[in-house]
């Protein structure tokens, strides 16, 4: 076995030779002429001249060799159903969906927006899109209408695929009214909406626009749709992520580089082998769901479990019962989920045979040491933290045990993953920090490895200005995360440098939440900050200056206004963005130039020293907030 230091060094010093070898993990319709084109940084192009297809590599090639092996296992504790699809069956369902898309006028380069719960048809739709060269854009199911409308306008989809409803904790969440309102708000109306009717919520189809999927599928039961071979650099999908402005960013991913990066990660990081079972507890609306529910496991020829439900319903042993039943070898979850399980009866972890499980991988937010230690003791398998972003598509920091077994350190996501030239830099000077335990911004030098975002959808300038110009004197990709590195080269992530907060692994722009809160009629000013939370990592907390404070000295009046503001955010952005608390103040702390002192607000809310306040215009503003919070 190669030692990891040599493996990593080669990926940095000889990226063309290194990635040409990794490219052998997938099928190519036409070989690439050039492994890496870095002639126009920061726009890196991988496997130039090559042609491939993501669906062929994820489905067809395995269906040809091992048609009866499990491919997709759908389990819903919300509706009490389980369905298993072999690779041959998955291929047929994807072709039926693809034939339907083609009938509705979708072709190569067209966008399809997918607004779906965790049901098999969501995976069929994603795979059908990449099969015919269309570009999918998955929006988290249940996202509120205003946010959904902004994504419809940016993606300009020819078609939207949706369902009547999702379900959470046994409560039906109707999607159709949210979607209808979003389309009403959007300037760019889709030609058609393809609806999967689960029978959960009654809905009225829009004449001439809405198409019933069951009817369409019935017309294409025997349709065969060949894979459209696309250039390696052809976009496979866009996925929206919160920015520091209210406008979401469409992260654009390629096809060939993404397929190679995921196939390599399944081998080197996630220890996935064909014929085994992989269980990621994420959602397809997030990047983990794209990379490690749908594409990664299928590229590796594994069965992938798609789970609709909570980790504690019907009981806290549900996940472990699936590990036993389907002999899961690798599992991927988030620290928040583990913290939820930690509050349950510890006996739940002893009910099932977990001997098939080789490792539990965690990502999405910083993993605290006590949580890591608890789950390690409970499961008796390696706990492998890893760090990455929507933008990267796969881990930036990890432990590649498939290359060389190395120890994990609780609280650390590991060391730089092969292909990533990671540094810590001083945020003021841009100078690289070489010493141990020096706090700096985590950055990556170009060229970025395969699978990383190509650009921001339809906005190259935003890609350059957002990610490549924030470090003084250097053109490096900024993660916008603080980090430190210990004596052994292990990194620790300390939180965001910008105004994006991480709630249970979901990235939310504080500006987006502020704009939503500001739309309430009785809000004059607002500041939203991320505050540390034991369960979710961070929660949003809003500080509001009301336009009319009359009567707010009464607790009932304050509670009513707080509830109304929360409801406003709920309706516009969805429950995940709803502030945990709304505090009413007479003044927000600002500099003399009028800039909000969010860092100071966050520090006070967390009971920390706000640091140097010489720039504050009115010190009483912060003092009043301290007293309000009992600090």
Closest CA to 422 of 404, 448, 399: 448
What are the pLDDT digits (tens) for 78-126? 999 999 999 999 999 999 999 999 999 999 999 999 999 999 999 999 9
SS3 373: helix
**pLDDT score recorded for residue 381:** 94
Does the fold of domain 503-629 match that of domain 4-309+386-445?
Answer: no
Q: Cα(353)–Cα(331) distance, rounded to whole angstroms?
A: 15
Q: Is the pLDDT of residue 290 over 80?
A: yes
Three state DSSP letters for 49-73: CCEECHHHHHHHHHHHHCCCCEEEE
Query: Can you give the residue ranges of every domain in the chain?
Result: 4-309+386-445, 503-629
The third-level CATH classification (topology) of the domain covering 503-629 is GMP Synthetase; Chain A, domain 3 (3.30.300)
What are the pLDDT digits (tens) for 28-62? 999 999 999 999 999 999 999 999 999 999 999 99
Verdict on whether the full-model pTM lies above 0.95: no
Looking at residues 382-399, what average pLDDT do you find?
96
Q: What share of the chain is helix, strand, coil (3-state, %, to 5)?
A: 35, 25, 40
Q: Which CATH superfamily is domain 4-309+386-445 in?
A: ANL, N-terminal domain (3.40.50.12780)
Q: Is the pLDDT of residue 366 over 80?
A: no
SS3 509: strand
What are the pLDDT digits (tens) for 397-418? 999 999 999 999 998 999 999 9
Query: With bands split at pLDDT 50, 70 and 90, how would you rate the model's confidence at 490?
Result: very high
Residue 591: DSSP 8-state: B
Closest CA to 136 of 226, 262, 252, 242: 252
């Amino acid at each position: 076995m190669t030692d990891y230091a040599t493996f990593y060094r080669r990926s940095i010093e000889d990226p063309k030779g290194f990635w040409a070898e990794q490219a052998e993990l997938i099928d190519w319709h036409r070989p690439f002429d050039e492994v890496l084109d870095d002639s126009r940084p920061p726009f890196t192009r991988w496997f130039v001249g090559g042609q491939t297809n993501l669906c062929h590599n994820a489905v067809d090639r395995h269906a040809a060799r091992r048609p009866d092996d499990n491919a997709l296992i759908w389990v819903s504790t919300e509706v009490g159903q389980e369905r298993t699809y072999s690779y041959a069956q998955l291929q047929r369902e994807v072709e039926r969906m693809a034939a339907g898309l083609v009938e509705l006028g979708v072709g190569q380069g067209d966008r399809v927006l997918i607004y779906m719960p965790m049901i098999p048809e969501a995976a069929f739709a994603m795979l059908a899109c990449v099969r015919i060269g269309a570009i999918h854009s998955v929006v988290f199911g249940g996202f509120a209408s205003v946010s959904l409308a902004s994504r419809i306008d940016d993606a300009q989809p020819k078609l939207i695929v949706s369902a009547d409803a999702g379900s959470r904790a046994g409560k039906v969440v109707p999607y159709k009214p949210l979607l209808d309102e979003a389309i009403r708000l959007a300037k760019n109306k889709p030609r058609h909406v393809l609806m999967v009717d689960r029978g959960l919520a009654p809905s009225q189809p829009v004449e001439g626009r809405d198409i019933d999927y069951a009817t369409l599928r019935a017309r294409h039961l025997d349709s065969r749709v060949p894979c459209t071979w696309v250039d390696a650099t052809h976009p496979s999908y866009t996925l929206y992520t919160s920015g520091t402005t209210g406008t979401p960013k469409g992260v654009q991913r390629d096809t060939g580089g993404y397929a190679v990066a995921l196939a390599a990660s399944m081998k080197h990081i996630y220890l996935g082998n064909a014929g085994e079972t992989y269980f990621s507890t994420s959602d397809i609306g997030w990047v983990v769901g794209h990379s490690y529910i749908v594409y990664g496991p299928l590229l590796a020829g594994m069965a992938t479990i798609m789970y609709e439900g909570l980790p504690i319903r019907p009981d806290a042993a549900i996940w472990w019962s699936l590990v036993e039943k389907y002999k899961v070898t690798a599992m991927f979850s988030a620290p928040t989920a583990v913290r939820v399980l930690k509050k349950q009866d510890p006996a739940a972890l002893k009910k099932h045979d977990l001997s098939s499980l080789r490792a539990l991988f965690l990502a999405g937010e910083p993993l605290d040491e006590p949580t890591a230690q608890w789950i390690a003791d409970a499961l008796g398998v390696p706990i492998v933290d890893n760090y990455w972003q929507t933008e990267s598509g796969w881990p930036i920091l990890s432990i590649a045990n498939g290359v060389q077994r190395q120890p994990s350190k609780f609280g650390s996501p590991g060391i730089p993953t092969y292909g990533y030239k990671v540094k810590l830099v001083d945020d003021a000077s841009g100078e690289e920090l070489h010493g141990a335990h020096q706090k700096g911004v985590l950055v990556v030098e170009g060229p970025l490895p395969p699978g990383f975002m190509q650009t921001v959808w339809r906005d190259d300038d935003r890609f350059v200005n957002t990610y490549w110009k924030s470090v003084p004197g250097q053109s490096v990709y900024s993660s916008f995360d603080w980090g430190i590195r210990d004596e052994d080269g292990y990194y620790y992530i300390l939180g965001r440098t910008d105004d994006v907060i991480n709630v249970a692994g979901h990235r939310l722009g504080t500006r987006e939440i502020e704009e939503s809160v500001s739309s309430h009629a009785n809000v004059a000013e607002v500041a939203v900050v991320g505050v540390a939370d034991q369960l979710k990592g961070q929660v949003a907390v809003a500080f509001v200056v009301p336009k009319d404070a009359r009567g707010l000295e009464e607790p009932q009046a304050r509670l009513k206004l707080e509830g109304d503001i929360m409801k406003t955010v709920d309706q516009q952005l969805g429950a995940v963005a709803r502030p945990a608390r709304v505090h009413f103040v007479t003044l927000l702390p600002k500099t003399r130039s009028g800039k909000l002192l969010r860092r100071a607000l966050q520090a006070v809310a967390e009971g920390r020293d706000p640091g140097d306040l010489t720039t504050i215009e009115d010190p009483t503003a912060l003092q009043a907030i301290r007293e309000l919070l009992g600090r």
